[in-house]
Amino acid sequence: MHKREVLTWLKESDPAVLAGLYAQADCVRKQSVGDGVHLRGLLEISNICSRHCSYCGLRAPNLGLKRYRMGAPEILGCAIQAAELGYGTVVLQAGESDAITGPWMADLVRVIKDRTRLAVTLSLGERTHSDLACWREAGADRYLLRFETSDPALYARIHPPGVSGGPGRLTLLRSLRALGYEIGSGVMIGIPGQTYESLADDLLLFRELDLDMIGCGPFLPHPATPLGRDGWCSGIAADDQVPPAEEMVYKVIALARLLCPQANIPATTALATINQRNGRELGLMRGANVVMPNLTPELYRRHYEIYPNKACLAERPSDCDGCLRARIHRIGRVPGAGPGGRRREPIHV
């Protein structure tokens, strides 16, 4: 698929034509990764962050947020619960900060790998090469790091560099690959200043990076962030601006599936947030094959506020699990078995 075709799909608004795209994506999903929907237990282990990203509620200047970092025994307990619920993977996500040191995290990964058969996915932001190498050595299997947008000027505006600089997310993704991680990335859809053209580039970059996992959700304004409060006058024409709309998310999921047939693609929590009734199901029917039940203890969950009104905020892990399994069965799919790593060979059914 060429950029022109991707762009045409992104601008398509006729429901009958889009139904064709979605059917094709669903068919490729079935052929390439099957009917299993992998459940990845998400643990938001800390909301402490030293960065100033203009879109994210965890940003350091947001003083209105009660900060926490879970203790290692507590995290291990939740990981064991993930295994007991039948999940193949635990995802450890956090703000980017020294609150999570390299050795502390390495010990934690080691103990989770010793005590369970879970695949461990990390989503801890931009870290030094030595931390990433040491966590891989400790047994971490996968790393999620969204590049957020492939437009360098837009990226620079929304994601100021950290104090120590660092190589940037695309370089980090390549290093993570070289270290032997499965790599995941993705973008927000409808960032103020994001053009259709740049979103088409994002999709082609997913293919170029040969991503194992692709997570995309709508940009959701957070009132305690510059981007959520004011947006900005971005200087692009109104009809070039990608809307943070539900339909756009489905188009991106479907196109990502066509461009990267074997990738693991979640129906994200942000998608479930803009359509709490059946956003996840529609994502799964239009190319996605992963959902991420939230395992974060209730005590912490409401403080991990990257954007407001997150779906499933009040649910306990066991309720979340039951609800997601019922949703999977209702659309004629089955919970995935095993760790659900990236397949390199298509399966034909």
The footprint of ligand SAH on residues 212-241 (CB under 6 A) is 217, 219-220, 222
Q: Crossing angle of helices 102-115/129-138, nearest 10°?
A: 20
Among 119, 263, 292, 306, binds ligand SAH (CB under 6 A): 306
* 93 contacts ligand SAH (rule: CB under 6 A): yes
Binding residues for ligand SAH, rule CB under 6 A, total 18
Smallest Cα–Cα separation from 132: which of 183, 58, 95, 89? 183
d(CA 56, CA 225): 7
Q: Minimal distance in Å, beta carbon 221 to ligand SAH?
A: 6
Compute φ and ψ for 31, nearest 5 degrees.
Answer: -70, -35
In the complex, minimum distance from the CB of residue 68 to ligand SAH, in angstroms, rounded to a whole number? 15
Minimal distance, residue 136 CB to ligand SAH, in Å: 17
Q: What are phi and psi of 271, to 5 degrees?
A: -65, -45
Burial class (CB in 10 A: 0-12, 13-18, 19+), 140: buried
> Based on CB atoms, which residue is closest to ligand SAH, 313 or 331?
313
- x-or-dash pattern for ligand SAH, window 170-189, by CB under 6 A? ------------------x-
Which residues inside 265-304 make contact with ligand SAH, applying CB under 6 A?
Answer: 270
Binding mask 108-147 for ligand SAH (x = CB under 6 A): ---------------x-x-------------------xx-
Determine, following the binding rule CB under 6 A, whether residue 95 of this chain makes contact with ligand SAH.
Answer: yes
The β-bridge partners of 266 are 290
* Least spacing, CB of residue 248 vs ligand SAH, in Å: 13
Of 45, 56, 271, 290, which one interacts with ligand SAH (CB under 6 A)? 56
The helix or strand, by DSSP H or E, that contains position 335, with its residue range, turns out to be: strand 334-335
Q: Which residues pair with 92 in a beta bridge?
A: 43, 122
Q: How many whole angstroms separate alpha carbon 235 and alpha carbon 244?
A: 18
Instruction: Tell me the helix, strand and coil percentages in the chain, rounded to 5.
Output: 40, 15, 45
Query: Which residue, 188 or 260, is less far from ligand SAH as judged by CB?
Result: 188
CA pair distance 37, 291, nearest whole angstrom: 7
Q: How far is the CB of 56 from ligand SAH (least distance, A)?
A: 4
Q: At closest approach, how far in Å is the CB of 345 from ligand SAH?
A: 30
Q: Does 65 bind ligand SAH (CB under 6 A)?
A: no
Min dist CB 30 to ligand SAH, Å, is 28
How distant, in Å, are the alpha carbons of 42, 114, 209, 249, 267 from that of 291? 10, 25, 22, 15, 6
Least Å distance, CB 337 to ligand SAH, is: 27
> Closest by alpha carbon to 309, among 227, 236, 220, 191?
220
Where along the sequence are the contacts to ligand SAH (CB under 6 A)?
A: 55-56, 93, 95-96, 123, 125, 145-146, 148, 188, 217, 219-220, 222, 270, 306-307
